Amino acid sequence: MLFIYIIRGGDFMENRQREQEIIDVPVITYVEDKVEKKPRKRRNLSLVVVILISALIGGVISSYVMPVYVFGKLIPYPQNYFGPDIKQVIHVNPKSTEFLVSAVAKKAMPSVVGITTTSIERDFFFGPRTAKGLGTGVIVDKRGYILTNAHVVHNGNVEELKVLFDNGKKKDAKILWSDAALDLAVIKVDGVKVVPADLGNSDDLQVGEIAIAIGNPLGMEFEKTVTSGIISGLNRSVEINENERIENLIQTDASINPGNSGGPLLNSKGEVIGINTAKIKSGEGLGFAIPINIAKPIVDQFIEKGEFRKVYMGIQGINVDIFERSTGIDLITDEGIYIARVYKGSPAAKGGLRTGDVIIGIEDKKINSMTQLVKELYKYRPGDTANIKIMRNDEEKTLKIKLERIPKNY
């Protein structure tokens, strides 16, 4: 066997002092069988050595020198240098969601409050009993206006209502307005310096956006819990019971549990985009919030005038699909509100609406249910005129209705 000392080409380029390695090179052995020995041809052996050295040096140059020092610096990489199926790799900006959630929570936390209630419930067997309730709210004005769910304040029927602030202070509050159909309420505290939240625009939401919820799930032991997820869906409808549905909801997979109700759903800017309202208990990752744009006209009136004046049309209506199922009568349209009654002297009566008309829209907005109609009317002030689209005797008409403040005895 012949031993040859060779300097590795790659290390030669990096460090000429590196230790030499020994490479075993086998040499062909000729067997003698009564054959006269012939002198070895040293020329052939030298040629083998040169070939081996050249191959090593060429390999080092092609695998190390060219990629590191030549390609991409002196000359561009050859076409398909990295293989024929290389695809473009898009690197995500390393702004981690966890830091975004932390920043949003820090901004919004001073505006989130806990709400505790004491109410009297009537029991058929045991008579009146005291019931305690817990929920969440969000401050919407520096004068102490707080937005929450109607069911958090028992639709206005409470004996005691208290608000717990971020600094640990607790104050009595009063209910200014509540609507079970929208599941929204406005309460107020006095004599406390508060930090109002920024309100966003729920009409601009896109499925897949970041969504962050803050609330008090399962009691004050877990107060100010922060959960995050995405906007999973828009314009969702949830059936609360046989006679009640909440429509046009935001769906999110941010965890929402009992006690979160009334708390804010926030976007990546820390703006309130919804008020958390319900959770389907039969499925995981299904939370819902009322779009903040539904509450904005109400909040604006309180901020502007210190009160909210609800307008009304003066009709008794029923959803077309329910009317058809109940009576077996097929109407000309499958969507809208069948007018079962028009109250005497009401805006509807003055504007020409009749029993049997079917309301199908307000302005350019389609109306399919009484809940939608109520929601749209919250956008108007007393004295405003609304263009009501109806179907009458197979003909579509538009009537102008001058809306009035809802009377106390209505």
Distance CA 197, CA 174 (A): 20
Radius of gyration of the chain (CA): 38
Query: Both tokens of residue 125?
Result: 């067997």
Residue with tokens 């109407």: 331
CB 287 within 8 A of CB 254: yes
Final residue of a domain: which of 165, 188, 211?
188
Specify whether the backbone of 224 is left (phi greater than 0), alpha (psi in -120 to 50) or beta. left
What pLDDT, on a 0 to 100 scale, did the predictor assign at position 34? 47
Phi and psi dihedrals of 388, rounded to 5? -100, 125
Residue 78 inside a domain? The answer is no
Q: Is 85 a catalytic residue?
A: no
Residue 77 inside a domain? The answer is no
Final residue of a domain: which of 275, 305, 335?
305
Residue 150 inside a domain? The answer is yes
Looking at the structure, tell me whether residues 133 and 182 fall in a common domain: yes
Distance CA 395, CA 358 (A): 10
Total domains, the chain: 4
How does DSSP assign 98-152, residue by residue?
HHHHHHHHHHHGGGEEEEEEEEEEEETTTEEEEEEEEEEEEE-STTSEEEE-TGG
Residue with tokens 């007393």: 382
Looking at the structure, tell me whether residues 65 and 123 fall in a common domain: no
Catalytic residue (choose from 151, 179, 232, 346): 151
Distance CA 362, CA 172 (A): 40
Buried-state track 66-98, b at ≥16 Cβ within 10 A, e below 16: beeeeeeeeeeeeeeeeeeeeeeeeeeeeeeee
Residue 287 inside a domain? The answer is yes
What pLDDT, on a 0 to 100 scale, did the predictor assign at position 80? 53
Looking at the structure, tell me whether residues 262 and 289 fall in a common domain: yes
CB 406 within 8 A of CB 382: no
User: Mean pLDDT, 10 residues at a time, over the chain (410 residues)?
Assistant: 43 44 43 48 62 71 56 53 46 55 90 90 73 90 93 88 89 91 90 91 92 80 83 84 74 84 93 85 76 90 82 91 87 90 93 94 89 84 92 92 80
The domain containing residue 268 runs over which residues?
Answer: 202-305
Catalytic residue (choose from 111, 178, 183, 346): 183
**β-pairing, 358-362 with 337-342?**
antiparallel
Looking at the structure, tell me whether residues 301 and 316 fall in a common domain: no
Distance CA 165, CA 287 (A): 25
Looking at the structure, tell me whether residues 246 and 226 fall in a common domain: yes
Looking at the structure, tell me whether residues 122 and 206 fall in a common domain: no
CATH number at residue 169: 2.40.10.10
Catalytic residue (choose from 261, 346, 357, 369): 261
What pLDDT, on a 0 to 100 scale, did the predictor assign at position 68? 53
Looking at the structure, tell me whether residues 380 and 332 fall in a common domain: yes
355: Cβ contacts below 8 Å, ≥ 6 apart? 339, 340, 341, 342
What pLDDT, on a 0 to 100 scale, did the predictor assign at position 241? 65
Residue 79 inside a domain? The answer is no
Looking at the structure, tell me whether residues 114 and 131 fall in a common domain: yes
Q: Is 91 a catalytic residue?
A: no
Give pTM, 2 decimals: 0.66
